Amino acid sequence: MNSLKTWLLMGVLTVLLVLLGRWVGGPSGALIFLLLAVAMNFVGYFFSDSIALRMSGARELPESEAPQLHAMIRRLADRAGLPMPRVYITPSPQPNAFATGRNPQHAAVAVTEGILRLLTPHELEGVLAHELAHVRNRDILISSMAAMLAGAITWIADAIQWGAIFGGFSRQDDEEGPGLLGGLFMAILAPIAATLIQLAISRAREFKADATGARIAGTPDGLASALLKLEAAAQQIPSFVNPSTAHMYIVNPLKGSTIAGLFSTHPPIEERVRRLRAMHL
């Protein structure tokens, strides 16, 4: 059900982008923006991993520097039926982790320096199993594509609004399309809708990765305990994560507990822990 919901939401994002294009340039604009959506998905497919790692300041961690961490990831990858991913570490003191890569053959798992200091081996195993679940479920690809589409919609909508303010768009109400006021209305609502859809996709994938990760680890206890520790640390230890990559981390690295649920990149930790503790493996 989650997979069907995700792909339906991805389709809605593409439709939003095409509708903006139709208002800007009529049928030809719709075609151009559809091709833009395809191009952005292409970029997201092939380059999302390198972009994410570069933005986080991650460096590849050789096995000689962290043999126990590599052994733990290798053991979990074997359980999940995945090839060994590349291992990275970021200099952030805030405990967190993320996975990236378009498919299992090009996957990478990144941990922060803070998470290696905070969690017990049992808890760390739960977190790493969660990240490998993202790899197995192809969540990284879907989330990256959704983020790029939502970002494109927001950028184009901003351009339309500024263009209308300064007279850059002069479509008349009797021309094909929704007219100036209708177009402005669309330009205001489209980025809000795109953001809500992107965040809904992110939250749905987190629940699924929690469940899959618990099965890979063989128990939900380590992940449940880790989530509570990571959530508490995220409220106390600052992070300098780019907001556009916040959805990738196992817990929201930004202090977002006061943000309304609809605008959160992650489901509530309490609900995630409740679902994990209710699992019977």
What residues form the annotated binding site for Zn(2+)? 130, 134, 206
* Cα 99 to Cα 133: distance, rounded to the nearest angstrom: 9
Contacts of 11 (CB under 8 A, 6+ apart): none
Give yes or no for a contact between 85 and 73, defined as CB atoms under 8 angstroms apart.
Answer: yes
Type and span of the H or E element at 206: helix 179-217
Q: Which two tokens stand for residue 114?
A: 């803070």
Give yes or no for a contact between 143 and 202, defined as CB atoms under 8 angstroms apart.
Answer: yes
* Active-site residue, 63 included: no
Give yes or no for a contact between 250 and 123, defined as CB atoms under 8 angstroms apart.
Answer: no
Q: Check 113, 131, 175, 271 and give the catalytic one.
A: 131
* Cα 23 to Cα 97: distance, rounded to the nearest angstrom: 41
Provide the annotated binding site.
Answer: 130, 134, 206
Instruction: Enumerate the active-site residues.
Output: 131
